[in-house]
Amino acid sequence: MKKIPVIAGILVVLDQIIKYLVVSKLAFTESVNIINNFFRITYMQNTGGAWSILAGNTIILAVLSIIILIFIIYVISKDKKINNPKIISYGLLIGGIIGNLIDRLRLNYVIDYLDFNFGGYYFPVFNLADIAIVIGGIILILVLIKEGD
Amino acid sequence: MDLTADIETRLDTFLVNNLDVSRSKIEKHIKENKVLVNDKPVKKSYNLKIDDKIHIEPFVLEDTTIKKENIKLDIIYEDDDVIVINKPKNMVVHPAVGNYTGTLVNGLLYHIDSLSTLNGEARPGIVHRIDKDTTGLLLVAKNDKAHAFLAKQLEEKTITRKYQALVWGVINSDTVTVDAPIGRDKLDRKKMAVVENGKKAVTHLKVLERYHNATLVELSLETGRTHQIRVHMNYINHPVVNDKVYSKRKLIDDTGQCLHAKTIGFIHPTTLKYMEFTSELPDTFINILNKVKDL
């Protein structure tokens, strides 16, 4: 149980350090080519959620993430069958949400930098916190399915 | 063609980096003694020294008859002497080594009965070029008299050519002139760059519209160097949006640089009257503009 804040904490620190580096090294919209025609580091600012949904509604998104955060903490406190996959999942979700929440409260937008191109389809630019949220969510769904059986 | 080595490297490596020809074709060329270094045939592994003179015999197009292809062309104007074409994205103007089909010339041969011959067999009718991913107006000559007349105007810079481009960043001045010589990029020989002993290049720019992080500009050229607008805009730190080669900024999609040859004006070879044509920005440009102006 104590591992959840540790995972979340490490994630938040890592996420903010990378974002700090991106902002200090790159101008807005600037890219560095990592793997030709596939992967670039690009500094983008996203005022929306994933895939820029609700773009411009920073306050709504910030309030929404705080509500979700409180809900997850409530679920954890009630969870009697805590196990390692769940600890990782909760840690990733909380860390990822806080990582992006810090940006929204501080800057009104989220700093994104992972820029992939899949054969001409330019995937929306995202960040480490986004990855944590997606992976955390997938693990949680898998665990809950298993518990349901 | 003659080149002078300005870097110490293997001959084959140097040619691959300096010519738009595949490595296998270059190796074959060297083997057939069609490449001479200081007037002597050498092996592909020959180590070049600075100032070595390299003579390269022309790479002959494999099939000298270029295929006619039923490619849809957007012809804006046509008479007995000239054609004005609105070139779409992703179309190369004329065949070159390694790329013989799908070019504008293949389409011209299918649709037009007679074209000028002054620019060689691979380039019938072609008096000037625009880049593959650049859209807009291109002038084609239907006979040699028209070709010579138009080529002279191009040389004397009396042809009006205005481009529109979306560039990154906000340009505060209403007009800008970039005067910086262009040559091959020393680090990447397939690219052009502003270099000390390059050829003179001058670009004039006028701001049309400013957005949060981009500017829509009109450009006119005093010189016509390869990739001139793209290189100059990148040089003043306002790269053309979505330029896959020169912009070190976010790429929006796969359609290439937001650059459109909007206006072309010339004196007609027969009537001797000034004619001017304009074309609208294509959808690919508008799509990117709509995405970028909200950033």
What are the pLDDT digits (tens) for B150-190? 999 988 888 999 999 999 999 999 999 999 999 998 888 78
Q: B47 and B115: one domain?
A: no
Could you tell me if B291 and B213 are in contact, meaning their C-beta atoms sit under 8 angstroms apart? no
Q: B255 and B209: one domain?
A: yes
In the annotation, is A79 catalytic? Answer: no
* The pLDDT of residue B15: 84
* The pLDDT of residue A59: 83
Residue B222 in any domain: the answer is yes
The catalytic position among A15, A103, A112, A115 is A112
Q: B94 and B45: one domain?
A: no
* The pLDDT of residue B230: 97
Look up the CATH number of the domain holding residue B16. Answer: 3.10.290.10
Tell me, yes or no, if B188 comes closer than 8 A to chain A by beta carbon: no
Tell me, yes or no, if A72 comes closer than 8 A to chain B by beta carbon: no
What are the pLDDT digits (tens) for A8-52? 999 999 999 999 999 999 999 999 999 988 999 999 998 877 666
CB contact under 8 A, A42 and B250: yes
Question: What is the rounded average pLDDT of the residues B15-20?
Answer: 79
Q: Supply the DSSP string of B83-143, one letter for each residue.
A: EEEEE-TT--SS-BTTB-SSSHHHHHHHH-S----TT-TTSTTBS----TT-EEEEEEESS
* The pLDDT of residue A19: 97
Residue B67 pLDDT > 90: no
Residue B265 in any domain: the answer is no
* The pLDDT of residue B62: 53
The identity of residue B153, as a single letter, is Q
* The pLDDT of residue A98: 96
State the distance between the two ends of chain B, measured CA to CA, in whole angstroms. 47
CB contact under 8 A, B248 and A115: no
Residue A56 pLDDT > 80: no
Provide the residue range defining the domain that includes B79.
Answer: 62-156
Model-level pTM?
0.79
Residue B271 in any domain: the answer is no
CA distance B181 to B21: 25
What residues of B are labeled active site?
Answer: 131
Number of domains in chain B: 3
* The pLDDT of residue A93: 96
In the annotation, is A130 catalytic? Answer: yes
Q: B46 and B123: one domain?
A: no
pLDDT band, residue B228 (cuts 50/70/90): very high
Q: Which carries the bigger pLDDT value, residue B26 or residue A68?
A: A68
* The pLDDT of residue B64: 60
CB contact under 8 A, B249 and A30: yes
DSSP state of B67: P
Q: B256 and B169: one domain?
A: yes
For chain A, what are the domain ranges? Answer: 3-148
* The pLDDT of residue B261: 97
What are the two backbone dihedrals, phi and then psi, of residue A27, each rounded to the nearest 5 degrees? -80, 160
CA distance B100 to B87: 18
User: Containing H/E element for A69?
Assistant: helix A58-78
Mutate to test the interface with A, among B191, B241, B249 (most CBs of A within 10 A): B249
Instruction: Measure in Å the smallest separation between the Cα of A37 and chain B Cα atoms.
Output: 9
Q: Which residues of A touch B239 (CB under 8 A)?
A: none
Complex ipTM > 0.90: no
* The pLDDT of residue B97: 76
Q: B171 and B243: one domain?
A: yes
* The pLDDT of residue B290: 94
Q: B125 and B98: one domain?
A: yes
Question: What is the rounded average pLDDT of the residues B210-218?
Answer: 96
User: Containing H/E element for A32?
Assistant: strand A31-35
**Summary mean pLDDT of chain A:** 90
Q: B201 and B113: one domain?
A: no
Q: B96 and B39: one domain?
A: no
Q: B216 and B253: one domain?
A: yes
Q: Which of B156, B185, B205 is the C-terminal boundary of a domain?
A: B156
The Cβ of residue A39 has, within 10 Å, a number of other Cβ atoms equal to: 14
